[in-house]
Each structure stands twice: as C-alpha cells, then as structure tokens.
C-alpha cells in the first residue's frame, strides 16, 4: 500500500467539521431554502436535489479547506439553491425531447418545457446573494454549461472524436465547479481558477466513467463511452491518470500555504480515488472477458455502496 501521507491523516479529522456543518444545514434548512417539503424527498426532483446537494456540499468543503474559513449561512443557502437549479435542469432534460429544446432567452433561462419558470425563479434567488465581483464569471459559466446540456452536442449518430469529447468534458466540468466558487465572496485569483478548472474536468471524467452504462443507453458520447466502445479501457485509464496529475500540479500552484494546499488536494484526491476504482474495474473486466461486456448492466455499473469498492477507494486515497 505504500507509506500513508501524514497530511491525509491530518485531513480526516479536519474534514469532519465542514462535513457536519453541511449535513446540519441540509437537515435544518435545506428543504426550506428551495421551497420543498419532506414528502418531496421521495419524488424524482427531491431525490435529484438531495444528490446534487451532496455534490455541492463536497465542493463547499473543498473551498473551505483551501481557504481555511467556513461558509456563512447565506452561502450555504446559495449552494442549496444552485443544487436545486441543477436538479431542475435534469428534470427538463428528461422530458420528451428535453435535450433537443434550446433556450428561448439565454439571459433569463426561459425554457419551453418550464412554463412555471421554476428555473428562472431559482436563478433569481441565486442572483440576489451573488457577489457582484463574481457575477460576470458566474453567468458566463452558467450559459456555457446550459448550452452544452441543451444543444445535445454529445447525443446523436454523429461520432465525435476523443479530442472534441475531452474539450466538452473539460468545459462542462470546469464551468460547473467555478459556478459554485462564484457564490463565495472570497478572493479568487487566477491560479485558483486554473486549479478549479482542472478539478472540474477531473470530476466530469469521474462522472462519465461511472455513467458509461447509462450514457450508452441514452447514446450520450463521452470520453469513457468512446474508449470503452473501442474495447480500450486502458486508454480511458491513461486519460484519467493524466487528468489526475494535471489537477494535482494545478493545486500545487494555489496561492495558499503548503498546509492549505495539502488539505485541499487531499480533499480533491478522494474523488480521484473513487474514479480510479471505476477506471480499473473496466481494465479488469477486459482481462477477464477479452471484450468488455457493454450489454451487461450488472458488470458495467460500479456500485460504490459495496464495501469492496469503498475499501479499494480508501486504499487508492491513503498512499
């Protein structure tokens, strides 16, 4: 397993406080923030909101570890609203033809399948708490993410090359992470933007690796579906490791103390460890079967609820 980094051992107890604060906010205010009730958690929208809240809570913890400060109640609320907005975009995409509908008005985020203008209402609430210095970057990132989703550039019969898919993955992931960083009224230097762009791309690579089965069913093209359809999981693993290294390098250039940079990278590296479990799973499947069993959901879907996968992720994170 190798020598465990001392900073990882320090990170574990330090992560407990921000994680607890995020969980507490959800328990006490998370539903109220976005106008939901407890019974809504059992609906598709509620489940998606809870899923996105967990992801946004992770980003909030990462930002807190970077800066050595905690988010205010209002900043927690803004993260909740953005999680709900992301969940709502998913709901629109799942409607018949949803991914083929374009924005009628990009600036207002009016959508033909959103007559109640839920997206606009949520965005309005986010804008009220958005730091003025970050407004331009926030709206640029939001437009770019939504355009990638709504224009269906990754869905259809036209096969996209891995370079194009990599660019789309990087743009979507980078903008998604920067969106949430813009909610914080903390100094944001270019070196931090670069690190978060790299990390956003890494997160998207991880998501795509986990979603291969589902993306193949919906004919959504990603770097993961491209390489696995070519029966080349080794190429996917190589691409993933390159992204991990480039992200780690970007984190080393953060304008913070060595301690803060270590804490931030250890937090981010937990995502890399989980993604590596998935990438290596496909390599193992090819070794066992010769050809990847792309039509076998049980084998292709990596269940992180299994202890074996959790253990492997921990082993990948610790050294």
Please give the structure tokens belonging to residue 9. 């051992």
158: CB partners within 8 A, 6+ apart: none
- What is the predicted pLDDT for the residue at 319? 55
Q: Residue 211: which of 82, 51, 102 has the closest Cα?
A: 51
For 15, other C-beta atoms within 10 Å of its C-beta total: 18
Which SS3 state, helix, strand or coil, does residue 36 take?
Answer: coil
Are 62 and 264 in contact, with CB atoms under 8 Å apart? Answer: yes
Low-confidence residues of the chain: pLDDT under 70:
1-9, 90-116, 150-157, 318-319
Are 240 and 279 in contact, with CB atoms under 8 Å apart? Answer: yes
How far is the C-alpha of 63 from the C-alpha of 188, rounded, in Å?
A: 11
CA angle, residues 163, 164, 166, in degrees to nearest 5: 65
Write out pLDDT tens, residues 62-76.
Answer: 999 999 999 999 999
How far is the C-alpha of 144 from the C-alpha of 109, rounded, in Å?
A: 12
How far is the C-alpha of 31 from the C-alpha of 259, rounded, in Å?
A: 35
- What is the predicted pLDDT for the residue at 147? 80
How far is the C-alpha of 135 from the C-alpha of 142, rounded, in Å?
A: 10
Q: Residue 166: which of 218, 225, 215, 213 has the closest Cα?
A: 225
- What is the predicted pLDDT for the residue at 100? 43
Residue 77 DSSP one-character state: H
For 113, other C-beta atoms within 10 Å of its C-beta total: 14
Which SS3 state, helix, strand or coil, does residue 176 take?
Answer: helix
- What is the predicted pLDDT for the residue at 120? 79
CATH number of 6-317, picked from 2.30.250.10, 1.10.600.10, 2.40.50.140, 3.30.565.10: 1.10.600.10
- What is the predicted pLDDT for the residue at 107? 45
Buried b (16+ CB within 10 A) or exposed e, 260-294: ebbbbbbbbbbbbbbbbbbbbbbeebbeeeeebeb
């Amino acid at each position: 397993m190798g020598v465990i980094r001392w900073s990882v051992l320090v990170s574990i107890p330090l992560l407990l406080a921000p994680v607890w604060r995020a969980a507490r906010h959800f328990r006490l205010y998370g539903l109220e923030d976005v106008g939901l009730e407890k019974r809504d958690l059992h609906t598709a929208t509620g489940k998606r909101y809870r899923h996105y809240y967990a992801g946004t809570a992770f980003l909030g913890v990462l930002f807190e570890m970077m800066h050595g400060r905690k988010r205010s109640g209002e900043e927690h609320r803004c993260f909740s609203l953005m999680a709900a907005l992301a969940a709502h975009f998913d709901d629109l995409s799942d409607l018949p033809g949803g991914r083929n509908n374009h924005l009628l008005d990009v600036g207002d985020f009016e959508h033909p399948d959103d007559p109640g203008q839920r997206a606009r209402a949520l965005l309005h609430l986010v804008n009220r708490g958005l730091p003025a210095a970050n407004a331009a970057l926030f709206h640029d990132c939001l437009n770019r993410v939504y355009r990638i989703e709504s224009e269906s550039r990754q869905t259809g019969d036209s096969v996209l090359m891995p370079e194009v898919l990599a660019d789309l993955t990087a743009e979507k992931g980078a903008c998604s992470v920067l969106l949430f960083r813009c909610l914080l009224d903390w100094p944001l230097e270019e070196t931090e933007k670069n690190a978060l762009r790299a990390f956003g791309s890494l997160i998207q690579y991880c998501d795509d690796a986990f979603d291969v089965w589902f993306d193949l069913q919906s004919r959504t093209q990603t770097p993961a579906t491209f390489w696995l359809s070519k029966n080349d999981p080794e190429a996917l693993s190589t691409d993933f490791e390159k992204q991990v290294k480039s992200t780690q390098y970007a984190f080393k250039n953060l304008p913070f103390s060595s301690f803060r940079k270590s804490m931030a990278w250890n937090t981010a590296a937990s995502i890399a460890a989980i993604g590596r479990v998935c990438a290596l799973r496909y390599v193992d499947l090819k070794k066992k079967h010769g050809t990847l069993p792309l039509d076998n959901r049980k084998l292709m879907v990596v269940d992180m609820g299994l202890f074996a996968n959790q253990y492997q992720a921990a082993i990948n994170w610790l050294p």
